[in-house]
Amino acid sequence: MLRITEAKMGGVHIKSDKGINFPEAKLNLPPLTEKDLKDLDFVCDHADLVGFSFIETLTDIEQLMKELAQRNKSELPIIAKIETNRAVKNLPDIILGTIDRHKLGIMIARGDLAVELGSARLAEIQEELLWLCEAAHVPVIWATQVLESIAKQGSRSRAEFTDAAMAVRAECVMLNKGPYILDAIVALVDVMIRMQEHQRKKFSRLRALHW
C-alpha cells in the first residue's frame, strides 16, 4: 500500500509514462522483467545498443550480459543509466566489473538523480561521474532536459544554453523529442562547436580568447 502524506493544494495526478522514486529504498525487484526480456529479443534484432534503466549493482548488469550472451549478442554495447543514489555509490564496481568483459557506456540521467539526490547534490555528483568515467575511459551520455524549452516550445532560455555548454565534457548529448527538435539540434551543434575549442572532456584547452 502506498500512502501520500504531503501534496500541493488541489492534489497531484500522476500522468502516464511517469514513475515514482523511492530514494534509498531497496525494493529487491528483478533487474529484468518478463516484458524486458521480450523487448530484449526485439532490441537484439534491430538495435545498435541496449539501454539499461535503473541499474543499481554489478549483479544487475551481469544479468543483462547473460541474457545478451544467450541471444548471441554479446557484442551489443550496454548503456547503463545512472538514476539512483545506490547506482552512484556502486558505479565504480559497475564500471570495473564490466569494462573488461563488455562494451559499456554511462548515461547521467539527471532528472531522476535530481529527485534522488536533490538539485544541489546533483550539480556536484554529475561532476564526479564525469571524472570517474573519464578516468575509466568509459563514454558518457549527458541527458535530461537539455535545451528542453527549444525542443518543446521553441523558446530559448539562457540557463539552458549554459547547461548545454557544460555537456561538451561528455561524448554524447541526448535531446528529448518535441515539435521544435530540429531547432534544438541546430542550437546544440552551435554551442558544441564553440565550446569544443575551450574544453576537451574534463580538461580546459586555454585557447586564445576572442574579444
Query: What is residue 207's predicted lDDT score, i.e. its pLDDT?
Result: 67
Query: What is residue 157's predicted lDDT score, i.e. its pLDDT?
Result: 85
Query: What is residue 211's predicted lDDT score, i.e. its pLDDT?
Result: 66
Query: What is residue 36's predicted lDDT score, i.e. its pLDDT?
Result: 93
SS3 203: strand
Query: What is residue 34's predicted lDDT score, i.e. its pLDDT?
Result: 92
Distance from the first to the final alpha carbon of the chain: 61
Q: What is the overall mean pLDDT for the chain?
A: 88
17: left (phi over 0), alpha (psi -120 to 50) or beta: left
Residue 161 has which C-alpha cell? 544554453
Query: What is residue 42's predicted lDDT score, i.e. its pLDDT?
Result: 95
Q: Domains in the chain and their CATH numbers?
A: 32-142 (3.20.20.60), 145-200 (no CATH)
Around 79, how many Cα atoms within 13 Å sit in the side-chain half-sphere? 20
- What span, in angstroms and rounded, lies between the C-alpha atoms of 74 and 77? 8
Query: What is residue 197's predicted lDDT score, i.e. its pLDDT?
Result: 81
Average pLDDT per block of 10 residues along the chain, 211 residues long: 80 77 74 92 95 93 96 96 93 95 94 87 89 92 91 89 89 92 94 84 65 66
- What span, in angstroms and rounded, lies between the C-alpha atoms of 193 and 18? 34
